[in-house]
Structure 1
Amino acid sequence: MQLPADAVTATVLIEVVRISALPPGRDDPYPGPVVAHWSGSEAADALALIGSLPGSEQHRCGFSPGWGIRAYDDSLGLALFEAAFCFTCHEVRTRGTAVPSALATQFFDPDALPARSLLALFRTAAP
């Protein structure tokens, strides 16, 4: 999977979100509680893991993401990017000011080791 390289380099904090619904508007963040904050090597490792997700074909489920991340730079202002992961339809939707349209919708193999590892990280982060 491709992430916006400049935004990845600038990321100092990641919020892990347990997504509860689709956002009400196109520019609204995915709703749900923030269950963890990752910084330093933890954030870098998570971004490297996400970047290593192998591609896959699209599967139809209606896109019902359960997990997401929001990446922030050191200003902690608006998120650099947000990614929402649906492990059922193999889709990740990425958006934000740092995300080119070519990276907005991608597909990953949820059975691959990096995807299983990412899901385990998400589940460990939840209370």
Structure 2
Amino acid sequence: MQLLTEAVAETALIEVVRISAVPSERGVSYPGRAIAHWVEGEAEELLSLMGSLPSGAQHRCGFSPGWSVRAYGESLDLALFEAAFCFNCHEVRMHGPAVPSELETQFFDADTAPAQALLTLFRAATP
């Protein structure tokens, strides 16, 4: 998966959200409950894992993401980017001020070790 080098470097906090619905339009935050906040090593681990996700083929499921991550800079005001993951169709959708249009939709191989490790992190954070 391609991440934005500058946004990753600026990230001070990762918020993990258990998504409850899909927004009515693209580019809007995914509704849901924040289930974890990760800083320093945990945030770096998550971003590294996201960056190591190998590209994959698109599968059809209608995009029903279960979790999203929001990356915040030091000011903690506006998310640098949000990435919503669907492990059924192997799609991640990103949006935010730091996301160019060519990176908004990406596909990853959900059956690989990095993807399964990411899913394990999300499940472990879910109450």
For 2:2 and 2:9, the matched residues in 1 are separated by 13
For residues 115 and 28 of structure 2, the distance between their equivalents in structure 1, rounded to whole angstroms, comes to 26
The residue number in structure 2 matching 1:67 is 67
Q: Secondary structure at the match of 2:120?
A: helix
Is 1:91–2:91 an aligned residue pair? yes
Secondary structure of 2:109's counterpart equals coil
In structure 1, the residue matched to 2:12 is 12
**Deviation readout 1:47-97 (Å, 9 max, x if unpaired):** 000000001010110000001000000000110000000000000001100
How many residues were matched structurally? 127
User: Counterpart of 2:45?
Assistant: 45
TM-score by length of 2: 0.98
Cα deviation digits, residues 11-69 of structure 1 (max 9, x gap): 01000000111113333210000000000010001000000000101011000000100
Q: Which runs of 4+ in 1 moved over 2 A?
A: 24-28
Q: Which runs of 5+ in 1 are unaligned?
A: none
CA distance in 2, matches of 1:3, 1:104: 10
SS of 2:85 mapped into structure 1: strand
TM-score, normalised via structure 1 length: 0.98
Unpaired stretches in structure 2, ≥5 consecutive residues: none
Computed over aligned residues only, the root mean square deviation of the Cα atoms, in angstroms, reads: 0.7
